[in-house]
Amino acid sequence: MTETKTLLAALKGEAQAVPPVWMMRQAGRYLPEYRETRARAGSFLELCYAPELAAEVTLQPIRRYGFDAAILFADILLVPQALGADLWFVTGEGPRLSTIESAADMARLRPAAEVHETLAPVYETLRILKGALPAETTLIGFAGAPWTVATYMIAGRGTPDQAPARRLMYGQPEVFDALIDRITEATAEYLIAQVDAGAEVVKLFDSWAGALPGPMFRRYCIEPALRILARLHEAHPGVPVIGFPRGAGGNYATYARETGVEGLALDTSVDPAWAARELSPLACLQGNLDPLLMVLGGDPLERGTRTLLEAFAGKPYIFNLGHGITPDADPAHVEQMLKVIRG
């Protein structure tokens, strides 16, 4: 029954006496049970494409902590792979992809409508989770936003300033625009299929939004999001969306106003008092505890948690981190945080 799901109620604009809580990367390397399951899978990518194991790691933090939401275990770079890019992970360094540098590279990509065969195991993971989660737990699907996914596809890896993507954007705008369009279409297809399979909320991660030059923010962050949301809501009216334009700064308000997302996730840099005053009228806010506090624990963690609870008291709000929990976090500190939130 959706009325028992506090996260959905918050996204509808209803303030909760105790805010719903989940954490980005809550199924991850800080948990020993995750590390054991990943070892069974053989590699990170094999884990993403093994529905029973991907569902298991999604459920692990729910069993341990009773979070109010479970987020699908997958990766934003599965969409490039489904489009035909080569994808692999280097231990200790992260993802690597074949690169898009020209119209010839674009021509080798698959049409957006053909991503589903590759991504079918992800949909099966969602179907498993739909039947396995507690009745009060919301199931969140997700995808990377087109600009962020494009930065990886162009550079072949993460970069500090996204210079390769900006270089293509300025130097070969027709190739760059074609890539953004292809990712936008594929992402809409992917999120619609996630909701078909059981996702109740979807989150759009624009992790490198802050690297967009100011004049390009609307064109390459907001406009692709609008196209994705239009397709999603045409197929599934009423499904809430959480947007995360990380690093957007003052553009957070513009993003919320122009996209109409129901939820707005805040990165660690955003001042909670400012957000409560300026952004709360626009959307349900989510965030934005510093992940470092999950490593430190103790008084700093309690103070940081209480600061957020006080700033957003009486407003629609979802407690979360300002970015993903890190592998060196202490699982006991998650319990400490939850005790402060839930009393």
The kind and range of the H/E element at 340 are helix 331-342
The amino acid that residue 216 corresponds to is M
- 72: Cβ–Cβ under 8 A, 6 or more apart, which residues? 54, 58, 122, 125, 126, 129, 139, 140, 141, 142, 194, 199
Name the token pair of 295.
């490593």
- What whole-number distance in Å separates Cα of residue 140 and Cα of residue 126? 9
DSSP assignment string, 142-189: EEE-HHHHHHHHHHSS--SS-HHHHHHHHH-HHHHHHHHHHHHHHHHH
Residue 268 per-residue DSSP state: T
- What whole-number distance in Å separates Cα of residue 73 and Cα of residue 87? 17
Name the token pair of 64.
């341990």
Name the token pair of 227.
């196209």
Is 139:125 a contact under the CB 8 Å cutoff? no
Active-site residue numbers? 25, 29, 38, 75, 152
- What whole-number distance in Å separates Cα of residue 61 and Cα of residue 268? 22
